[in-house]
C-alpha cells in the first residue's frame, strides 16, 4: 500500500508544479497619462473594444485595467502566453485602428513594457 501512496504523492506534486495550459508567461504593461475627466471614457472604450479585439487570440489570457487616481495614469496589464504572439497582434491593422480611438484621451505617450513572469502565487 505504501508504494502506491508514494506514487500518488509524486504525481500530485508534479501536477501542482506544472503550468495550466491557459497560464500566462508574459505581462504586457501599458502605462499612459489620461486627460482630466477622461478616465471613465477610456474605460468604457476599453470595455467596448477589447473583447472583440482579443477574442481570436489563442495566446491572450486576460487583462486588468487600473488607474492611479491622483495622477490620472491608466495602467493595463495584458497577460499573454507568448511574447511573439503579442508582438504580431500589436502590429496588426485591427489593433492599430482600435488603439487610434484612444489617442484623443491621452495626455502623453503610452509606455509599453513586456515582462516575463518568473513567479506567481
Domain boundaries, the chain: 23-116
Whether the model clears a pTM of 0.85, i.e. scores above it, the answer is: no
Cα–Cα distances in angstroms (integers) from residue 37 to residues 7, 33, 67, 99, in the given order:
60, 12, 12, 19
Q: Which of 29, 46, 27 is nearest to 105 (CA)?
A: 46
Q: Which fold has domain 23-116?
A: Alpha-Beta Plaits (3.30.70)
pLDDT tens digits, the chain, 121 residues: what are they?
A: 555 444 444 333 433 443 454 689 999 999 999 999 999 999 999 999 999 999 999 999 999 999 999 999 999 999 999 999 999 999 999 999 999 999 999 999 999 999 999 998 8
**Using CA of residue 52, residue 62, residue 75, residue 41, what is the dihedral sign?**
positive
What local confidence, expressed as pLDDT, does residue 68 receive? 97
| Rounded distance between C-alpha atoms, residue 33 and residue 67, angstroms | 9
> Grid coordinates 508567461 are at which residue?
25
Amino acid at each position: 500500500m505504501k508504494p502506491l501512496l508514494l506514487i500518488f504523492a509524486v504525481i500530485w506534486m508534479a501536477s501542482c508544479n506544472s503550468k495550466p495550459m491557459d497560464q500566462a508567461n508574459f505581462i504586457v504593461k501599458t502605462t499612459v497619462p489620461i486627460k482630466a475627466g477622461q478616465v471613465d471614457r477610456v474605460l468604457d472604450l476599453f470595455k467596448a473594444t477589447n473583447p472583440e479585439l482579443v477574442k481570436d487570440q489563442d495566446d491572450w489570457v486576460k487583462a486588468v485595467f487600473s488607474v492611479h487616481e491622483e495622477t490620472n495614469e491608466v495602467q493595463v496589464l495584458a497577460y499573454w502566453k507568448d511574447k511573439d504572439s503579442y508582438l504580431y497582434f500589436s502590429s496588426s491593422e485591427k489593433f492599430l485602428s482600435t488603439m487610434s480611438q484612444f489617442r484623443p484621451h491621452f495626455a502623453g505617450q503610452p509606455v509599453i513594457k513586456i515582462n516575463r513572469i518568473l513567479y506567481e502565487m
